[in-house]
Amino acid sequence: MSSEPRTQVGLADVAPELHAAMMNFMAVAYPGKVDIVTRELVRIYSGRESHCRICRNFRLRVAIDRGFDESMVDQMDDLEHSDLAPHQKAALRLARDFLGDPQAFDADAQAELFAHFTPEQAAELILDLVRFRPGSKLTVVAGDEPAEEGLIYS
């Protein structure tokens, strides 16, 4: 990272019990039932919506190894005409509505989501969104974003 963090204190430093609880929650809440390519698309979409350079530009190699490619990102802006898989479109519609207009997630959107995901998988996607959004905002506020745009691979 090229910017300076605004603090050197982490959650584990100031609230170790809360940090431990958060780590336990993460271990239970993110069981990995949703394929990594779909989760990567949702994570990138969330980063675009929160204007986080890291989240917009970071790419997980494991997702690339399992089929993610940059053309998928370009297709997020027009889901109706994209070549994304139906389950990926459903997950991105959930992300769009969850982050932008929760009232827009109507019965049809819910039916589409459950046509492609189990309730456990839908919960995992929602928890991902809950985790990604504040995480990206914290990165922006902490000054931990890279100074330049550009893809980052890990």
- Average pLDDT rounded to a whole number, residues 125-132: 86
Q: Could you tell me the maximum CA-CA distance found in the chain, to the nearest angstrom?
A: 48
Helix (H, G, I), strand (E, B) or coil at 100: helix
| 146, 55 Cβ separation under 8 angstroms | no
Q: What distance in Å separates the CA atoms of residue 21 and residue 3, rounded to the nearest whole number?
A: 29
Rounded Cα distance between 58 and 54, Å, is: 5
According to the model, what pLDDT value does residue 140 have?
52
Q: pLDDT tens for residues 41-84? A: 999 999 888 877 777 888 889 999 999 999 999 999 899 999 99
Mean pLDDT of 82-97: 97
Domains and CATH numbers, the chain: 11-153 (1.20.1290.10)
